[in-house]
Amino acid sequence: MMKIIKFSLISLFFISNLFAMPSKSKKQAEQKNQNIELSSLQLIDYPSDRGDMIILKWDIEKENDLTYEIYVSTNKENWIKAKEVKNGEWTLEKIDLPFWMWNKKESKNAVLLEVTKIFSISEEDFFDKYKDGFKLYAKLNILNKNKRFETQIVEGMAKGNWFRTDRLNSLITVIIVSLVFFIVVSHAKKKELFIRRIAGLDAIDEAVGRATEMGKPVIYVPGIGSMSNISTIASVFILGEVGKKIAQYDATIKVPHYDPIVFTVAKETIKQAYIEAERPDSYRDDINMFITQDQFAYAAAVDGMITREKPAACFYMGYFMAESLLLAEVGASAGAIQIAGTDIDSQLPFFVTACDYTLIGEELYAAGAYLSKEPMLVSALKVQDFGKLLFIIFASILSIILIIAAKTGSTNFTNTILDILKVR
């Protein structure tokens, strides 16, 4: 009996091993198939950056239900899961680079990886420590239903670039504008360029002449803007030209200020105007006066000055807000010739209503070139006009082309045009 039991146990052991061995072999075969070679897998530097970004790209597969886990490392041992994407979810087309840098329509999965965020390195430390580049390893885990495959390891270097190739369109535009500018400047030195008549600027002579005849002062208000405002810069330039005429006619001008920096700049501008008019002896330090930096206190002080002095002419040039009508109404009641100019749209109606002449928008910027007739300034003005003309022509033509392209479904052409026009 014992022999029978012993024989049965030995037989059962051999039978179980017989069935177990194929199972183990099958498992080893499956394990072997989990590592696959993905020949299209590449880790490339992101062009036109400071050196903290890198791109992992590979072919888009026909199977749509694939999921990719992206792992990165600096030593092939400690792997960090950077991102998880689906097949075809992230492509070259989604990376914001123009067509002249690579073919966006290429059938590639492409994921942009930010090194500083993945490895939790501050930007300051990163650019100090890795000036020569940051070496990186990457691999993919491909998930297909219940199966998991691991690709080979690829390496790449994230490094800074000296030239922003993606801004090549802007460079070409700057070169074209510069060439046009120098051509116009050379032409302006040989022959006077035409500038359309601006009535408000032509009236400056009349206003200063009237003040001289009546023996009354001219009050010039440069607004409440700082020197960082373009309108204030234009106002100071106009003040210089008005100051020359005041010096030539031996008239009186008063300039009340809201901003202390504008006050300092205007003081030097007026002094230079008197020197250029060869009347430095007529200059007085009390021409420019600082009032206050409170908006309505400033308006009240200027209104009081206009009421007391009864000026023959008032100039309002620069940045104005709610005080514009308060100033212009008091000047009109004093019987002064009033010339105003601002680029603040909301204040233009008040100046148009209460003043004799109003410079609207860009007329204020053109005033310096219009009054001085200096070739460099006139050329700059002409280049701006030329640019506006080209923009109108190109915008009209491209609008028609893009409409036709949208109707015909030509997305490639549309994307090419948008790449050229995009400012990065």
Report pLDDT digits (tens) over 195-248: 777 788 888 888 888 899 898 999 999 999 999 888 898 899 899 989 999 999
Q: For residue 126, tell me if it sits in a domain.
A: yes
User: Which amino acid belongs to residue 6?
Assistant: K
| Model pLDDT, residue 31 | 45
Q: Check: CB of residue 42 under 8 Å from CB of residue 57.
A: yes
Query: 394 and 261 share a domain?
Result: no
What's the CATH number where 211 sits?
3.40.50.720
In a domain, 327, yes or no: yes
* CB of 86 closer than 8 Å to CB of 162: no
Please indicate, yes or no, whether residues 127 and 155 belong to a single structural domain of this protein. yes
Does a structural domain hold residue 384? yes
| 26 has a pLDDT exceeding 80 | no
Contact in structure between 220 and 237 (CB atoms under 8 Å): no
Is residue 157 one of the residues assigned to a domain?
yes
Contact 363, 341 (CB under 8 A): yes
Residue 2 is assigned to a structural domain of this protein: no
Same domain, 123 and 81: yes
Residue 312 lies in a domain: yes
Q: Characterise 373 by phi-psi region: left (phi > 0), alpha (psi -120 to 50), beta (else).
A: left
CA distance 313 to 211: 6
Residue whose pair of structure tokens reads 């299209």 in the numeric block: 40
Q: What is the mean pLDDT of residues 356-375?
A: 81
The reply to whether 54 and 153 lie within a common domain is yes
Query: Is 306 among the domain residues?
Result: yes
Residue type at position 370: Y
The percent of residues above 70 in pLDDT, for the chain, comes to 90
Structure-token match 């001289």, residue found = 212
Same domain, residue pair 330 and 232: yes
Residues 177 and 72 in one domain: no
Residue 21 belongs to a domain: no
- Band the pLDDT of 27: cuts 50, 70, 90: very low
- 35 DSSP assignment: B
**Over residues 47-59, mean pLDDT:** 87
Strands 134-144 and 154-158: antiparallel
Give the sign of the dihedral formed by CA 96, CA 99, CA 105, CA 106.
negative
- Has residue 334 got a pLDDT over 80? yes
Q: In what order do the strands lie in the sheet with 42-45?
A: 42-45, 53-59, 108-114
388-408: per-residue pLDDT in tens?
888 888 889 888 888 887 788
Q: Is the pTM of this model over 0.85?
A: no
Are the CB atoms for 316 and 341 separated by under 8 Å?
yes
Parent domain of 294? 199-372
Same-domain check for residues 111 and 65 = yes
Residue with the larger pLDDT of the pair 99 and 191: 99
Assess whether 364 and 382 both reside in one domain: no
User: How far is the C-alpha of 214 from the C-alpha of 2, rounded, in Å?
Assistant: 143
Same domain, 358 and 233: yes
324 and 216 assigned to the same domain: yes
The CATH number given to whatever domain includes residue 107 is 2.60.40.10
Q: Are 257 and 312 within one domain?
A: yes
Q: Encoding tokens for residue 387? A: 């640019």
Q: Provide the pLDDT for residue 8.
A: 56
Residues contacting residue 215 through CB under 8 Å, at least 6 positions apart: none
Same domain for 181 and 124, yes or no, is no
- How far apart are the C-alpha atoms of 351 and 325, rounded to whole Å? 7
Please give the tally of structural domains in the chain. Answer: 3
